[in-house]
Amino acid sequence: MQKCIKLAQKSAGRVSPNPLVGAVIFDDDLRIISQGRHEYYGGNHAERNAILTATEDLKGKSIIVNLEPCSHYGKTPPCADLIIERGIKRVISGMVDPNPKVSGRGHELLRQAGIEVIEGVLEEECLELNKFFVKNQTKNLPYIAVKTAVTLDGRIATKTHQSKWITDEASRAQVQKLRNAYDAILTGSGTIKYDNPSLTCRMKGGRNPVRVVLDTNLSTDENSKVYADDGAKVIIITGENVSKSRIKQYASHIKIEKCRIRDGIIDIEEAVKILYETGIRSIMTECGGLLNKSIIEAKLADELIQFVAPKILGDESAKGFAEGFHRSEIKECNKLKIVSTKVLKNDIIIKSRFDYTGNK
CA gap 227, 277 in Å, rounded? 21
CA 237 vs CA 81, 102, 256, 337: distances in Å: 44, 34, 6, 31
Q: Which stretch of DSSP H or E encloses residue 172?
A: helix 169-181
Residue type, 52: L
CA 177 vs CA 13, 93, 172: distances in Å: 10, 27, 9
CA 176 vs CA 180, 192, 200: distances in Å: 6, 18, 8
Q: Yes or no: say if 147 and 322 are a contact pair by the CB < 8 Å rule.
A: no
In this structure, the strands spanning 254-259 and 234-239 are parallel
Catalytic pick among 39, 47, 85, 332: 47
**In the beta sheet, which residues pair with residue 184?**
210, 283
> Is 56 tagged catalytic?
no
Catalytic residues: 47
